[in-house]
Amino acid sequence: MAEPEVLGLLVAARDEPGVLYRLSETIFRHGANITYVAGGAHREAGHAELQLEVVGAPDTARLVSDLEGLQGITKVSLVPTFERIYGKRVIVIGGGAQVGMVAQGAISEADRHNIRGERISVDTIPLVGEDQLAAAVRAVARLHRARALVLAGALMGGDISTAVREIREAGILVLCTNMAGSVPDAADLVVSDPVEAGVMAVMLIADTASFSIEHVRGRRF
């Protein structure tokens, strides 16, 4: 069965109470469902932008017209979805030097797949400290389009390992570099070389790669 078409809408509106309510009510009346909403930029005082992703709208032109007629809405534009432009996301967290090396491998591999029609983007943040790392790991499960996390560092454990198990339950693939601590035991896959860890993270989520986590889960390379 074909996936339903996702409609990207960029909504310019006055920054006032009730705007989001009126938008969602109108989309509901059209029998459609909002699958993603992002609060956007404030390009001038009193105005804001929202990006919505909607599925199930039977008449796109009528939906756009009805939305533009709402109180507080100044313009509604059709835009490509973030999935179409930026695609799946690989998130890299940990020590700065190793994060950079993982990103090098991930970006190089993503480029190889993206020129063949895939869409994969890479996001990084260097962090230290158990509390900060654990919070960042948990946040990955809430990130739009996130598919895989790579943890790069020398020592990670404790609550970070608990967070890793939680996001794996939410469907996020977790790779890590070989390090001290309990994170390697909690991750899906351990890859000693950080560049190769980035490469493998991309291969595991790319539709254009013949590589499955089921072939390597629990292994160390």
Q: How would DSSP label each residue in 61-130?
A: HHHHHHHHTSTTEEEEEE---HHHHT-EEEEEEE-HHHHHHHHHHHHHHHHHHHTTT--EEEEEEE--SH
> ∠ CA 129-134-135 to the nearest 5 degrees?
105
pLDDT at 109: 95
Provide the β-strand partners of residue 52. 9, 37
Domain check: are 208 and 180 in the same one? yes
Sheet with strand 173-176: strands edge to edge? 120-126, 88-94, 146-152, 173-176, 189-190
Terminal-to-terminal C-alpha distance of the chain: 38
How far is residue 144's CA from residue 89's CA, in Å, rounded to a whole number?
A: 8
Domain check: are 128 and 101 in the same one? yes
How far is residue 127's CA from residue 207's CA, in Å, rounded to a whole number?
A: 30
Domain check: are 91 and 181 in the same one? yes
How far is residue 43's CA from residue 199's CA, in Å, rounded to a whole number?
A: 38
Does 194 map to a domain? yes
Does 62 map to a domain? yes
Owning domain of residue 10: 6-81
Does 126 map to a domain? yes
Does 1 map to a domain? no
pLDDT in tens, 132-142: 999 999 999 99
Domain check: are 44 and 118 in the same one? no
| Residue 152 near residue 112, CB atoms below 8 Å | no
Domain boundary among 81, 100, 135: 81
Q: Which amino acid is at 125?
A: I
Does 131 map to a domain? yes
pLDDT beneath 70, residues of the chain: 1-3, 40-43
pTM to 2 decimal places? 0.85
Does 221 map to a domain? no
Domain check: are 127 and 178 in the same one? yes
Does 220 map to a domain? no
pLDDT at 43: 66
Report the SS3 class of residue 194: helix
pLDDT at 60: 94
Domain boundary among 40, 62, 81: 81
Domain check: are 64 and 164 in the same one? no
Domain check: are 13 and 115 in the same one? no
* Distances from the Cα of 12 to the Cα of 9, 16, 32, 91, angstroms: 10, 12, 20, 30
Candidates 150, 158, 142, 154; CA nearest to 189 is: 150
Overall number of domains in the chain: 2
Domain check: are 99 and 204 in the same one? yes
pLDDT at 160: 96
> Pairing relation of β-strands 146-152 and 173-176?
parallel
pLDDT at 80: 93
How far is residue 167's CA from residue 122's CA, in Å, rounded to a whole number?
A: 18
CATH number at residue 77: 3.30.70.260
Domain check: are 13 and 109 in the same one? no
Domain check: are 54 and 140 in the same one? no
Domain check: are 57 and 160 in the same one? no
Candidates 94, 91, 198, 110; CA nearest to 149 is: 91
Domain boundary among 48, 64, 81: 81
Domain check: are 127 and 59 in the same one? no
pLDDT at 217: 82
CATH number at residue 163: 3.40.50.10550
